[in-house]
Structure 1
Amino acid sequence: MGLNLNIDFAGAKDKSLSKLLLSSARQYLREYGEVEDLALDSAARSITVSVLPLGEREPIRVTVFGYGLATDGSGRGYLTFEAVTFSRQWLTLLALRLLPDKRLPLPSGTPMGLLQTLL
């Protein structure tokens, strides 16, 4: 008669981090639209974000696969990735052209050490 606790700690961690990142994404992207949802899956190393752009009726879904964090020589932080897809094909094609080095600059002041520990 043992106590069986089937707790998904990784899932709970991902949900907590998703809420934290959602709050940051909302501030970072507020001039472009409303970030409706953000889901981090650390096992799959993916982040999916749903954004309703200003003036649009339907949200756009963005999924970043194989994410990581990096800094350059000046200490600037970047979100790196292996691939990115959008729910609009033209945006996926645009991202391939505009982000050939597969990295996005993070806002200045991003706590890179903390993020690297958590992600």
Structure 2
Amino acid sequence: MQTCPTARHDHHDVYSAQCPCREVLDLLANKWSALAIGALEEGPLRFGELQRRLQGVSPKVLTQTLRRLEEHGFVERTVYPAVPLHVEYSLTEPGQSVAEPLAALRSWVESNLDKLRTA
């Protein structure tokens, strides 16, 4: 991962145009990422189970989302040798760590949606 031009030791500046933090923020702020992480909080799920839980997501978008989450270390994909192939997705330690603030955001949206609609 690149460091921010303004980075000091372990501090990064998400407001800096060159900071790689922005890529992670973009990923986590995506609705399908936030919802997938929330669904996986309950434990590992197969692709079909995850797609049913995330009503409205296309297989293509879910695949892309899961790949990006896996590439950034938030989700682990486990393949079990069986016929047919059995694949499960689960949260990694960073995925579990970010699940709590994302759950708070989802809860806030659900609680405040009526107020926002009348604004």
Q: Could you tell me the TM-score, scaled by structure 2's length?
A: 0.24
Relative contact order higher in (CA < 8 Å, ≥ 6 apart): 2
Query: Larger % of helix: which?
Result: 2
